[in-house]
């Protein structure tokens, strides 16, 4: 399928006194995607999630903005131990551990241990794959549905149109008739306030809708991935971690709570 752009590329030929316009075309499905579309959507949703959390979106680690301290609620971040020695290693520790008057007692985590625990939790989750997939479908149909939000957006947009027309009419009357200016300002300010409230509500609703669509994309990507997975995962898969884990809460040394995107929680 070929779609033509609505504009042309223009350039000046040194041998001619006028510009040459060359039509530009956009060709769909002309070659295989460099990145799988579902994986691309999942990554974009994760970047957007981190932005909303105020966390860096450029961090290369899949564990960034995923691990939460069960004691203070702070995020875990990477720390280097023994940086100039042969014992150098990277651990993950609560970023708020030493920031308050009271030291957070949450334990640090070693990446390999975290990966192993994820494997155990995921394999437990996969013990009943059909139930897992059904849970995913239920989450998509209930928590990711945007129909009510879209209806409210449409209704609020109609409110904007009504207020805009009332304001336009008031301005026209003020310009063509003798009207008390205090009364005009009071009425027009009321229209402006209604317009502001409606505009902010639309922005809020669109954000909610965008969040639900992003969640739906992640869950669908998760579903597609586990459909083709073996029931027993033998090694850590970064992509699977990204699309399946919502967060990990560090409860204590012996217990991590893995919150999966379908709503399941596995402690291990």
Write the pLDDT tens digit of every residue in 197-213. Answer: 999 999 999 999 988 88
Return the residue matching tokens 């090694």: 235
State the pLDDT at residue 7. Answer: 46
- Measured CA to CA, the distance from residue 191 to residue 203 in angstroms comes to 18
Rounded to whole angstroms, the Cα distance separating 65 from 78 reads: 11
In the chain, what percentage of residues exceed pLDDT 70?
Answer: 78
pLDDT tier at 4, thresholds 50, 70, 90? very low
- E strands, the chain, are 2-12, 19-27, 67-69, 76-81, 89-94, 109-110, 245-252, 255-260, 265-267
Residue found under tokens 């009357």: 173
Q: Which of 2-11, 191-200, 254-263 has the lowest mean pLDDT?
A: 2-11
More confident residue, 11 or 106: 106
pTM exceeds 0.85, yes or no: no
| Predicted pLDDT at 19 | 54
**Tell me: the pLDDT tens digits for 249-264?**
998 878 899 999 888 8
Q: Which residues contact 208 (CB under 8 A, 6 or more apart)?
A: 149
- The total number of residues shown for the chain amounts to 268
Collect all residues with Cβ–Cβ distance below 8 Å to 49 and sequence separation of at least 6.
65, 214
Res. 241: pLDDT tops 70: yes
């Amino acid at each position: 399928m070929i779609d033509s752009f609505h504009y042309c590329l223009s350039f000046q030929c040194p041998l001619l006194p006028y510009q040459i316009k060359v039509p530009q075309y956009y060709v769909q499905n002309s070659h295989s995607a460099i990145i799988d579309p579902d994986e691309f959507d999942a990554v974009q949703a994760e970047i957007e999630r981190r932005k909303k959390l105020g966390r860096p979106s450029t961090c290369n680690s899949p564990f960034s903005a995923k691990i939460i301290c069960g004691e203070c609620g702070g995020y875990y971040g990477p720390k280097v131990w023994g940086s100039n020695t042969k014992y150098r290693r990277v651990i993950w520790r609560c970023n708020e551990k030493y920031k308050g008057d009271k030291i957070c007692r949450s334990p640090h985590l070693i990446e390999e241990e975290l990966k192993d625990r994820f494997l155990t939790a995921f394999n437990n989750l996969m013990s009943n794959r059909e139930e897992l997939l059904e849970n995913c479908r239920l989450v998509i149909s209930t928590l990711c549905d945007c129909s009510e939000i879209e209806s409210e957006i449409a209704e609020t947009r109609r409110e904007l149109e009504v207020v805009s027309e009332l304001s336009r009419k008031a301005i026209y009357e003020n310009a063509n008739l003798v009207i008390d200016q205090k009364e005009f300002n009071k009425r027009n300010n009321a229209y402006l306030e209604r317009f502001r409230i409606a505009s902010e509500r639309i922005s809020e609703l669109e954000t909610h809708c965008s969040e639900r669509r992003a969640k739906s994309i992640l869950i669908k990507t998760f579903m597609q991935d586990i459909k083709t997975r073996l029931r027993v995962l033998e090694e850590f898969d970064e992509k699977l971690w990204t699309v399946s884990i919502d967060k990990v809460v560090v409860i204590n040394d012996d217990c991590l709570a893995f919150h999966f995107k379908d709503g399941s929680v596995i402690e291990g």
